[in-house]
Amino acid sequence: MPIDKNRDMWKPGEPWEQAIDDMKYVRGLAAELGGPERVKRQHSGGRYTIRERIEKMVDPGSFLEAGPMVGAAEFDDEGNMVEFTPGAYVMGLGEIDGRPVAIGGDDFTISGGSPHNVRKHSRQFTQPLATQYGIPYIQLVEGVGHSAKADEAAGHMGLPGGDLWWKGVELMKRVPVAAGIMGSVAGAPAAFALMSHFTVMVKEQSQIFPSGPPVVRRAIGEQMDKEELGGYKRHVHESGQVDNVAESEEDAFEQIKAFISYLPNTTNDVAPRVETGDPPDRRPEELLNIHPPIRRRGYDPRKLIKLVVDNGEFFEMRRHWASSIITGFARLDGYSVGIIGSDPMKLAGAMDGWAAEKYAHFVDLCDAFNLPVVIFLDMPGFMLGSHAERIATMRRGIRALIASAEAKVPKIEFNIRKAYGVAADAAHSLGHPDGLNLRFGWPAGEWGGIPIEGGVAAAYRREIENAPDPEAHRAMIEGRLLKLRSPFRAAYRGDVVDLIDPRETRRLACTFVKLAQPMLHKLAEREKRAVRP
């Protein structure tokens, strides 16, 4: 519906019926977004408009728009509207599976989501609503940030002010924040997207950077297309800037829904229990032989996790980055939990600097949202060698250790196989002294300050060198120590609560999570800091 410049619009004192008609009319104009041509261009790029995105995210008919009439209007001498550009941010309240959320996103069809003639922003409506009512906040971002045209219109270049951000930081302290990066995103919209607890970008459709290729070329002379500069390979696989990649926009919406489904409404609540129908005492037979008998071989750790959790449903976050550590959410007996696992197929499961960062961030996230943490540990230690040194592996590992020690949420740990050195401490630091922190060992468990192979070579070096047959001598000492490595010895000494049949893992984990609930409600009362992505 194009604008009708001759429309005699309602004036104060005229009948209400005409005012109601005009409201519908202006809303109709806003629903046009950037006009049919721009909408067509959005669609031909394989992308939905912001209104379509919101409709697909929320329960049908539940969207209650905030500011549907906000836009840049121009009037003639009679007071009739002759020009109207809708504000390029569509937002409001909606429900996802019956749960209220605040949701909004940029309208890319209007000046690339960055119009210079109207200020309409989530800070005005959805951010304060989400904070005040304590409901999840979802942003679907596709905009390019500050426009130089805005400076020309304003007649001055403003000093960047922190006022843009503090509402976002308040949100991060208080409610789950999830962002879909739906296209090319730069500048402030990119920063808003990353100020989230969960981010997802669409494969080969989304890119994110402070500035795109033209600005990069101008600034440093580097020539690169936008996908190479800031696409999913760069940011989901290599840098870890964005948590997850989606195959399609629909997949991104599903991932956002899954993410918030595991979290409580605020950092001062506990995630509600959901009836999953999976018996807590189920004994997954396959767990018994999930390891190869050869301890030098890997196995599929996701299969292990899925065998334990309710109905095999595991929502993984940051899968493609720092992948020797696995992080994600699941349910046990219907209760939400954070899951941390080792992946022996990646870096042998060792903790390098990035894996330590991933670990620390995830523990902080669980602590903020009062989720108990279930750990499946198979940790050979810090990753060794020059690559790991280059990324400050031990300093970042200490960060993980501190995060773990400070996290007051209860933790349970299954020592699946290896647990060596400080890196293993980082993962299973017991944290709060009054916490409900339990450790169980599987029969394949082996642990210590240093693995026998490296430990013997270092501590017995001179003795081995001076032996008539050094190789045989080394093997002899290793054989002596091998007996000590039995997890039974550690169990006799009380290192673990118990050695268990791996098939008991689910039952024990479910018992733990149920036990943890009263404490979680107390922990929910703590004041929280914003989790730093």
Partner 1 sequence: MADIPVESPITGVIVEISVSVGDTVEFGDVLVVIESMKMENEILSDYDGVVKEIRVRNNQNISQDDVMLILEE
Which residues contact partner 1 by CB under 8 A? 294, 296-298, 344-350, 380-381, 383-387, 451, 453-454
- Using alpha carbons, list the distances in angstroms from residue 78 to 9, 11, 72, 85, 246: 9, 10, 18, 20, 51
> Measured from the CB atom, is 320 or 432 closer to partner 1?
320
The distance of closest approach from Cβ of residue 398 to partner 1 in the complex, given in angstroms and rounded to an integer, is: 20
- Which residue, chain included where needed, has tokens 């808003």? 192
> Measured from the CB atom, is 90 or 347 closer to partner 1?
347
The distance of closest approach from Cβ of residue 381 to partner 1 in the complex, given in angstroms and rounded to an integer, is: 8
> What is the C-alpha separation between 207 and 201, in angstroms, rounded?
8
- Report CA 435 to chain centroid distance, whole Å: 25
The distance of closest approach from Cβ of residue 153 to partner 1 in the complex, given in angstroms and rounded to an integer, is: 47
* Cβ neighbours for 502, distance < 8 A, ≥ 6 positions apart: 287, 288, 290, 442, 443
> Measured from the CB atom, is 250 or 389 closer to partner 1?
389
Residue 452: its H or E element = helix 452-459
- Among candidates 115, 121, 119, which has minimal Cα distance to 149? 115
366, two tokens: 């669980």
The distance of closest approach from Cβ of residue 291 to partner 1 in the complex, given in angstroms and rounded to an integer, is: 13
Phi-psi region of 370 (alpha: psi -120 to 50; beta: other; left: phi over 0): left
* Cβ neighbours for 2, distance < 8 A, ≥ 6 positions apart: 32
The distance of closest approach from Cβ of residue 345 to partner 1 in the complex, given in angstroms and rounded to an integer, is: 7
The distance of closest approach from Cβ of residue 358 to partner 1 in the complex, given in angstroms and rounded to an integer, is: 16
> Measured from the CB atom, is 118 or 347 closer to partner 1?
347
φ/ψ of 312, rounded to 5, equals: 70, 15
> Measured from the CB atom, is 273 or 320 closer to partner 1?
320
The distance of closest approach from Cβ of residue 177 to partner 1 in the complex, given in angstroms and rounded to an integer, is: 32
> Measured from the CB atom, is 279 or 479 closer to partner 1?
479
> Measured from the CB atom, is 257 or 474 closer to partner 1?
474
- Among candidates 135, 122, 167, 150, which has minimal Cα distance to 267? 135
The distance of closest approach from Cβ of residue 392 to partner 1 in the complex, given in angstroms and rounded to an integer, is: 16
> Measured from the CB atom, is 112 or 380 closer to partner 1?
380
> What is the C-alpha separation between 412 and 440, in angstroms, rounded?
8
126, two tokens: 């959805």
